[in-house]
Amino acid sequence: MDTDQLNLKRAARGDERAFEELIRPYTDVTYRLCLRMMGNEQDAADMAQEALVRAWRSLSTYKGQSRFSTWLYRVTSNVCLDELRKRRNDHSESIQEMRKSGFEPVDPQETPEKALDRQELRRTLESAIASLGPEQRAALVLRDVQGLPYEQIAEILGLNLNTVKSRISRSRAALRRVLEQEAELSAKKRV
Amino acid sequence: MKCALFLQNLDGYLDESLSGIEMEAMREHLDACAECQKAYREQKELLDALGHLDEEVFAPDDLVEGAMHRIHKERSFRRRGPWVLGGIAAALCLTLGLTALMGGMGTMKENWSSSPAEAPTALYASGAGMDNGFSADMAEMPEPMPTMAAEKGYAMQAAPAGEERASDVSGQSEADGETMTQGAEHGLKIIREARLEMQTENYEADREALISLVSSLGGYVTSSEESGSAKLMDQGGGNRYVSMVLRVPSSRLDEFLEQARAVGIPLVSSVSEQDVTGQYTDTDRRLQAYQKQYDRVLAMMDKTATVEELIQIESELSRLELLIEENQGMLNYWDGRVNYSTVYVYLNEVRRVTPADPTLAQRLQNALANSWDDFKEGAKDLLVNLYGSIPYIVTWVVILGIAALAAVLAVRRVRRRRQEK
């Protein structure tokens, strides 16, 4: 029995220390997923903590039907999606809405010609990801940022394989459109 | 193949999830079509950039601690919850029941407003129960963790062959073949870190003892974070803990650990070692090479004739200065780490300490002792809640008494009239 399995058993019996050991290797990926889903560090830290606590609470529902990492991803993405849906219902401003009203999350600095430096590319990508809808964002982040296989993403999001593939493909197209718009915008500003 | 089909399958092509024949057809089209080559390149660039987006993103240090803290609190509340909730329920039932009784009798209806006000008070009391329950089952902490060295994945870094790397970087052939002598010259550079988790029943005294122990050995406290509250001590359980980061002269680390372990009851105590001799030697050689180069360039300065040459030399000198500083900084950093060991100390206040490796009998004893404590705390909470309800109870008893008296008098008067008739 590997350590994960052993810790899982112990954690399910209420051993907090075992649970801590179990989740520690996954904290970075959990946080990264939250960061990309929520778009800022504060929310990401809150959601990642929430995800870990919820994982503890629902450990009894995990029956080893999938890999532990898959299950934890699933809990995490649900936590983020729930929060994002709640916020959408609260009519709080999403970046998308803010963008419509003229807000520009990325400050397109005056850069010579095509020399987008890494930092800027990163920021552009981040804001482009944030502009996707939550469900699209989840699929794209899991696939292209975290590099998970389609099958695992399907399990995490509870969708069938084809839906996942088409959703990711649509997300990429949407992302490219946003990036193109951004490029046009900064080109115009420069003129 | 048409361009539209190519673009449709582009993702599959990049993922290499298409069938062999499809992959082949895609490749052929890609070779032939400049338009699609552009689309392919752009998509690939995008995916590459996305794939590297989170390389340097790491979870905040306190993520796990924060989550575990919440989990621990929740559990403590759940165990004592039934008692606390029982207390609230009892108080509520009493008030509501009496209110309903009164309301039914048609007197003092305005008193209904007092029952919702009961809820926040009772809940507040339960909140306190939850807080002081925090450390209650720290005492039944399970087996100690495996050593940190394994957990943190500290690879014991074997000294790499210094020759190749040093000569690669510095390009100085005279530096070759000196690694062994240099390694010996510096001695072994080993970074030692320790981690100590302890329980204590005398929180304040033990914390002070640790701090004075550190300074007596020539070390210091770099950070110290305390949580929990002493106020709850009188309610049966301390829940304070402090996590400290200490720097102790490495030569006295063992001495420190030995004495520190005697302060509280150690649960986990581990030392990890990282050998940086190889990297250290490399860096030192690089530093010396840069310094030699610097001296040589400096000497050339006297022989320069033209301004261009002078400018060139100046810029070379400042480049070398930067490199020298960088490498010197690295050596200083390692020296600091090697000379002073970092010790992470975690001291937890408990009502009753548990031995690090409890036997079954001890565990049984602890389990019983802990649940008895929980029971006592719960009973106390119940008592507190009932006590808190006294004003309501007294009020209703008085009102009921008056009402009963009035009823008795009324009945008597009716009987008397009947008798008179």
Whole-complex ipTM: 0.78
Does an H or E element contain B265, and which?
Answer: strand B265-275
CB proximity A174 to B under 8 Å? no
- Tell me what the pLDDT averaged over chain B comes to: 74
CATH of the domain at A61: 1.10.1740.10
Q: Report the distance separating Cα A11 and Cα A5, nearest Å.
A: 10
pLDDT value for B165:
34
Which of the four pLDDT bands, split at 50, 70 and 90, describes residue A186?
confident
Percent of chain A's residues with pLDDT above 90 = 27
Q: Which range has the worst mean pLDDT, A154-158, A179-183, B251-255, B401-405?
A: A179-183
Q: Hey, what are A74's tokens?
A: 């699933």
Average pLDDT over residues A50-71: 87
The full 3-state SS of B56-117, as one line of letters, equals CCCCCCCHHHHHHHHHHHHHHHHHHHHHHHHHHHHHHHHHHHHHHHHHHCCCCHHHHHHHHH
Percent of chain B's residues with pLDDT above 90 = 10
Q: Report the distance separating Cα B359 and Cα B366, nearest Å.
A: 10
Decide if pLDDT at B107 tops 60.
no
- The answer to whether residues A181 and A132 belong to one domain is yes
- In A, minimum Cα distance to B16 occurs at A149
Average pLDDT over residues B248-270: 87
Interface test with B, best of A49, A118, A136 (most B CBs within 10 A): A49
A145·B53 Cβ contact <8 A: yes
Q: Are the beta carbons of B9 and B18 closer than 8 angstroms?
A: yes
CB-CB neighbors (< 8 A) of A16 in chain B? 68, 71-72, 75, 142
B7's CB contacts (< 8 A; 6+ apart) are: B36, B39
More confident residue, A124 or B175: A124
Q: Hey, what are A90's tokens?
A: 């609260």
- The answer to whether residues A121 and A152 belong to one domain is yes
Angle between helical axes of B63-104 and B114-132 (0-180°, round to 10)? 150
Query: What letter does residue B230 receive in the DSSP assignment?
Result: S
Angle A82-B56-B12 from CA coordinates, rounded to 5°: 70
Q: Report the distance separating Cα A145 and Cα A141, nearest Å.
A: 5
Q: Are the beta carbons of A142 and A164 closer than 8 angstroms?
A: no
Average pLDDT over residues B75-99: 63
Q: Report the distance separating Cα B414 and Cα B421, nearest Å.
A: 11
Domain enclosing residue A19, as ranges? 1-92
Q: Which range has the worst mean pLDDT, A61-75, A138-152, B190-204, B357-371?
A: B357-371
The full 3-state SS of A4-64, as one line of letters, equals HHHHHHHHHCCCHHHHHHHHHHHHHHHHHHHHHHHCCHHHHHHHHHHHHHHHHHCHHHCCC
CB-CB neighbors (< 8 A) of A122 in chain B? 49, 53
- The answer to whether residues A114 and A73 belong to one domain is no
Q: Are the beta carbons of A46 and A89 closer than 8 angstroms?
A: no
CB proximity B31 to A under 8 Å? no
- The answer to whether residues A100 and A75 belong to one domain is no
Q: One-letter amino acid identity for B2?
A: K
In terms of average pLDDT, the best of A152-161, B263-272, B273-282, B312-321 is A152-161
Q: Are the beta carbons of A165 and A149 closer than 8 angstroms?
A: no
Decide if pLDDT at B111 tops 70.
no
B51·A144 Cβ contact <8 A: yes
- The answer to whether residues A169 and A114 belong to one domain is yes
CATH of the domain at A191: 1.10.10.10
More confident residue, B85 or B67: B67
CB-CB neighbors (< 8 A) of A168 in chain B? 11
pLDDT value for B372:
85
Q: For residue B396, how far is the Cα from the chain centroid?
A: 51
- B47, B59, B70: residue with CB nearest A48: B59
Decide if pLDDT at A92 tops 60.
no
- The answer to whether residues A102 and A87 belong to one domain is no
Chain A segment 34-93 residues within 8 A of B by beta carbon are 35-36, 41, 45, 48-49, 52-53, 56-57
Angle between helical axes of B179-186 and B162-170 (0-180°, round to 10)? 100
CB proximity B43 to A under 8 Å? yes
Which of the four pLDDT bands, split at 50, 70 and 90, describes residue A90?
low
- The answer to whether residues A87 and A102 belong to one domain is no
Which of the four pLDDT bands, split at 50, 70 and 90, describes residue A52?
very high
Per-residue pLDDT reduced to its tens digit, B194-214: 888 888 888 888 889 999 999
Which of the four pLDDT bands, split at 50, 70 and 90, describes residue A29?
very high
Closest CA to B133 of B79, B60, B89, B76: B76
pLDDT value for B317:
87
Instruction: Say how many C-beta atoms besides its own lie within 10 A of residue B387's C-beta.
Output: 12
Last residue in a domain, options A92, A120, A149: A92
Q: Hey, what are A6's tokens?
A: 């052993």
Last residue in a domain, options A57, A92, A127: A92
Decide if pLDDT at B417 tops 60.
yes
pLDDT value for B368:
86
Q: Hey, what are B393's tokens?
A: 């109870």
Percent of chain B's residues with pLDDT above 70 = 70
- The answer to whether residues A107 and A142 belong to one domain is yes
Per-residue pLDDT reduced to its tens digit, B325-344: 888 888 888 888 888 998 98
- A15, A53, A168: residue with CB nearest B142: A15
CB proximity B63 to A under 8 Å? yes
In terms of average pLDDT, the best of B81-95, B299-313, B356-370 is B299-313
Closest CA to B358 of B135, B138, B137, B143: B143
Q: Report the distance separating Cα B281 and Cα B331, nearest Å.
A: 9
Which of the four pLDDT bands, split at 50, 70 and 90, describes residue A44?
very high
- The answer to whether residues A118 and A191 belong to one domain is yes
- The answer to whether residues A70 and A108 belong to one domain is no
CB-CB neighbors (< 8 A) of A27 in chain B? 59, 63-64
Number of domains in chain A: 2
Decide if pLDDT at A121 tops 70.
yes
- The answer to whether residues A77 and A100 belong to one domain is no
- The answer to whether residues A3 and A87 belong to one domain is yes
Match 């008070």 to its residue by tokens.
B121
Decide if pLDDT at A173 tops 70.
yes
pLDDT value for B91:
65
Q: Which range has the worst mean pLDDT, B11-15, B70-74, B230-234?
A: B230-234
Q: Report the distance separating Cα B307 and Cα B246, nearest Å.
A: 54
CB proximity A28 to B under 8 Å? yes
CB-CB neighbors (< 8 A) of A174 in chain B? none
pLDDT value for B89:
66
Antiparallel, parallel or unpaired: β B265-275 and B190-200: antiparallel
Interface test with A, best of B10, B42, B54 (most A CBs within 10 A): B54
CB-CB neighbors (< 8 A) of B51 in chain A? 144-145, 147
Which of the four pLDDT bands, split at 50, 70 and 90, describes residue A115?
very low
- In A, minimum Cα distance to B59 occurs at A28
Q: Are the beta carbons of A75 and A55 closer than 8 angstroms?
A: yes
Last residue in a domain, options A92, A122, A143: A92
B50·A145 Cβ contact <8 A: yes
